[in-house]
Amino acid sequence: MKKLTILLTLIGLGVIAFALAHSGIREVFTAVTRIGVSGFLLTVAAQLGVDVLLGAAWHAAFPSMSFRHLFKARMVRDAASTCLPFSQLGGIVIGIRATCRHHGLRDAQSGGVEWPEAACANVVDITTEVLAQIVFILLAVALLAIGTPSNPLVRPVIIGAFLLTMGAAGFIWTQQRGGAAIRRGVEGLGRHIAGQWQTTMVNGADSLQERMEEAWSHPGRISASAAIHLVGWISSAGVTWLTVHLMGASLSFPDAIAVEGVTCGLMSASFLIPAGLGVQEGSYMTLGHAFGLDASTCLALSLLRRGREVGIGLPVLVLWQLGEMRALHKPDAQRPAPLPSSGKVATDNPEG
């Protein structure tokens, strides 16, 4: 898996280098600098607003945890997925670790969040986000078909959205009824990824299933979470629209939804590629061209998005690591139970 990740990273970087050479490095640099420092900071602020929505969506599904705690864990999860050389699966593991780290419950006397509760919270949050993403992708495909009916991406994205829907349905069923499957998965994870914590993980498997069933027994919370996530996805398209206009180009908001939705759909399908390297750039260039944006502007849009993610993600990861180091100096009785994870992941470490 490590070799595959390195290979996919190198391929993605090669795609970005080719795109830069094809579009013209000078033209892309001009398009990037056209936004200005103040404009870039404005897009960062807009992205932070989207992040607040994502934290609110998670809190809607798990009101027993504080919004502040879940917001921090969500920021760490996304930062790990976008800034570190891991696939999105690695970001999820980091997110679970971050959820375990702090005293997130309203009752301060209850102590830190144990790993079954943290794993359940992250899995359910990701599931509600995927449910909202499916609706967002279908909306984007509809707008893409209206704007550019002959676009070659329409059919494969529809097929991808259908497969994503089937996968999400199976994933939800597993969380609600698949206790044996979850236990087998935890046992396999314990053997192959977290050998020294295998006993802890297996002992917590039944607790994890109970928490899953409890979370899904509140359909109102799940629906509210998915609805807020959908608002977050649409807001991420607003950030794209804002960035394009700050660069001096023109893109309507419905077209921005089409570009962002289809791009997110393609990146979800390529979840094994760290940070979607190459996939994001290719998607923006193909879709942007269909709506009248030149190649340099499309590539600049992608690079500005990456700059925004790094500008937010790196400070988040630094603060998280400082918190981890402070926790190491606490007395053993005050330390939250560690999340089972591999040595590398635990040391190093997810709309729109």
60/43 Cα distance (integer angstroms): 26
C-alpha Rg value of the chain to the nearest Å: 20
Q: Report how far residue 65's alpha carbon sits from residue 103's, in angstroms, rounded to the nearest whole number.
A: 9
Going through 192-268 in order, the beta strands assigned E by DSSP cover none
pLDDT in tens, 161-186: 777 777 767 767 666 655 555 555 55
What's the confidence (pLDDT) of residue 234? 96
The SS3 assignment for 105 reads: strand
Q: Exposed, middle or buried by CB within 10 Å (0-12, 13-18, 19+), for 79?
A: buried
Using the structure block, give the residue that is written with the tokens 């500008």.
Answer: 311
Q: Is residue 273 pLDDT above 90, yes or no?
A: no
- Using the predicted structure, report yes or no on whether residue 61 has a pLDDT greater than 90: yes
- Name the residue with higher pLDDT: 333 or 3: 3
Top-confidence residue, 191 or 309:
309
CA–CA distance, 241 with 288 (Å, rounded to integer): 11
Distance separating alpha carbons of residues 44 and 280, to the nearest angstrom: 18
Residue among 79, 87, 172 nearest 131 (CA): 172
pTM of the model: 0.80
211 or 317: which carries more pLDDT confidence? Answer: 317
> Among the ranges 10-19, 24-33, 62-71, 260-269, which has the highest mean pLDDT value?
62-71
Other C-beta atoms closer than 10 Å to the C-beta of 224 total 18
pLDDT at 42: 97
**How much is the pLDDT for 10?**
77
Question: Residue 56: which H helix or E strand, with range?
Answer: helix 36-61
Residue 72 to residue 101: CA distance in whole angstroms: 11
Cβ atoms of 173 and 163 within 8 Å: the answer is no
Compare 342 and 239 and report the one with higher pLDDT. 239
Contacts of 351 (CB under 8 A, 6+ apart): 50, 54, 129, 132, 133, 136, 229, 232, 233, 236, 264
The residue-averaged pLDDT of 122-136 equals 91
Work out the burial of residue 313: count CB atoms within 10 Å of its CB; fewer than 13 is exposed, 13-18 middle, 19 or more buried: buried
What's the rounded mean pLDDT across residues 251-280? Answer: 83
The confidence band for 225, taking pLDDT boundaries of 50, 70 and 90, is very high
Per-residue pLDDT tens over the stretch 92-102? 888 888 998 65
